[in-house]
Structure 1
Amino acid sequence: MANIREIKTRMNSIEDTLKITNAMYLISSSKLKKARKQLDATTPYFEMLQASLLDIMAHTPDLQHIFLNKRKKEHPKKGYLVMTADRGLAGAYNHNITKMAEENINEDDKLFVIGYMGRNYFGRRNAAQMDEDFFYTTQDPTIYRARRIAEKLIEEYVSGELDEVYIIYTKMITSITSEPTMIRVLPLNPDQYEFAGKGKRSHMTEFQPSVKAVLDRLAPNYIKGLVYGAMVESFSSELNARMMAMEGASKSAREMIRSLGLMYNRARQAAITQEITEVCAGAKSLKKE
């Protein structure tokens, strides 16, 4: 059995770790509320953009546009925007995203990776061509950052460098569950719109100055909204995963402290018993003398 000092030192070390995990849990909880509030504040605007796009598609089904029509190629060049975290200590969050990305990307595809963990992971493997100048953090997502990312993706698509663009991110299903998700950003895919029913109108809609001009303006803004929404969802999922990981670590730390407390008490009792035995033995020897 370990001595009393060793047990006490280990208990103090675990208590220090418990303070850190509790602090990380509280910080993640506070940031999560802020991130969800950001998403809720901007969702109505992007829902309306989505409805307008569906209006266009419903009234002009034969419209030919670069943002709508898939390029007929035997092997289209695909680009993937992969959103990972900048730090670990978030359970299987980063592993699930990188696993989904590896299952879908090929050597000829191009990667745009957000987050240090993803850049480090794919940089070691060279599974696909990774844009080395694409340095963006996942912390505290902003509209400005989403605009810069979306403009880069649109530029690559319009120039013909990419034929299809996808986003791989972590979507929050409920307040405690999330799962990795992949959506196609370009060309636009109305089948995956979450608010598809809101975009269908029974009345005739007139677009000024033309359908193409309206789509030229709406589509890039909608893509920026998709990127921003995915960034906020990923950041929220990361914080949620970290909260759960820290909660589990805190629970394990408390159980270890409880177990070590029992060992400490047993060691103290054994030491006291040993001292009493030695005192009694000494007293008996003195009487004999």
Structure 2
Amino acid sequence: MAGSKEIQNRMRSIRDTMKITNAMYMISSSKMKKAKAALERTEPFFVEQQNAVASILEDIPQLDSVFFTRGAGIEAKELRRAYIVVTADKGLAGAYNHNVLKMTEKLLLQGEKNKLYVVGETGRQYFARRGIDMDATFNYTVQSPTLHRSRIIADKVMEDFNLNLVDEFYIVYTKMINAFKMEPQMWKLLPLVRTDFELEEDSAYEETFEYHPSVDAVLEHLVPDIISGYIYGALVESYACEQNSRMIAMQSATDSAHEMLHELEMEYNRSRQAAITQEITEVIAGAKSQKNKNS
């Protein structure tokens, strides 16, 4: 059995760790709330952009644009797909990084012409250790998801798409199902899917419009912003999931620490009782010895 002093030191160390895990829990909770609020503030803007594209598709049902038709007629094994994977910059977030990285690895194995774009330091290190080539990495993005940073990624996406280097773009991120369940998701960025654009009943786009100088020119301005909106939404959703995962991990660590403290307190009490019993035994033995010596 460990000595009382050793047990006290272990208890003190656990209490110090609990202070850290509690602080990390509170910080992650605050960050998650701010991220969700930021997404809610910007969402109406991107919804209206999608409605504008929906209006164009309604006016011109047979629209033939590369933003919708790229890759059509090409066999699946010949498609050049690019996957943008969103990971964290840090660990201590449960299975958050593991799940999205494993999903991306499986997707990369499904074709021979795939490209990989990595957001987050954890993902960059993961693929680097496995010798998997990365076509682009984006640093300092996931810890502060902003529209500016999402546009930087979108600019790279549009550049490679317009240069005909990639047929299809997908973003792999983590979606929050509820407070206790988060799952990796894949969303197709390009080419755009027509069924994703439907006018809402109360939309302002109810009349027929003329497009100057052309529909293609209008789309060239709209599509980059829509892609940026999709990426921004995925970044914020992933960031919220990361913070939620860290909250769960820190709460679990705190609960485990409470259990360890309880067990150590019991062990400490047993140790003290054993020490007191030993002292009493020694006192009694000494008293008996002294009594026998006097008699």
The corresponding residue for 2:92 is 89
The corresponding residue for 1:260 is 264
The corresponding residue for 2:129 is 124
The corresponding residue for 2:152 is 148
Residues 244-286 of structure 1: CA deviation (Å, up to 9, x unaligned): 1000100000110011001001100110111011001100110
Residues 193-215 of structure 1: CA deviation (Å, up to 9, x unaligned): 3x745289794421331322221
Q: Relative to 1, partners in 2 of residues 1:57 and 1:200: Cα closer, same or farther, differing over 3 Å?
A: farther
List aligned pairs for 1:193-208, cutoff 5 A.
193=196, 196=198, 198=200, 203-208=206-211
Tell me whether 1:73 sits opposite 2:74 in the alignment.
yes
Whichever residue aligns with residue 124 of structure 1, its letter is R
The corresponding residue for 1:50 is 50
TM-score scaled by length of structure 2: 0.92
Structure 1: segments with no counterpart, 5+ residues: none
Post-superposition shift, 1:190?
3.4
Q: Relative to 1, partners in 2 of residues 1:203 and 1:197: Cα closer, same or farther, differing over 3 Å?
A: closer
The corresponding residue for 2:222 is 218
The corresponding residue for 1:28 is 28
Aligned-partner Cα distance in 2 for 1:278–1:134: 70
SS across alignment from 1:68 = helix
Q: Relative to 1, partners in 2 of residues 1:51 and 1:176: Cα closer, same or farther, differing over 3 Å?
A: farther
Q: Does the Cα contact within 8 Å between 2:119 and 2:137 map onto a contact in 1? A: no
Aligned-partner Cα distance in 1 for 2:198–2:252: 39
Q: Does the Cα contact within 8 Å between 1:169 and 1:180 map onto a contact in 2? A: yes
Q: Does the Cα contact within 8 Å between 1:207 and 1:214 map onto a contact in 2? A: no
Residues 150-170 of structure 1: CA deviation (Å, up to 9, x unaligned): 000110011011111000001
Q: Does the Cα contact within 8 Å between 1:28 and 1:240 map onto a contact in 2? A: yes
Q: Does the Cα contact within 8 Å between 1:147 and 1:224 map onto a contact in 2? A: yes
TM-score scaled by length of structure 1: 0.94
Aligned-partner Cα distance in 2 for 1:224–1:101: 21
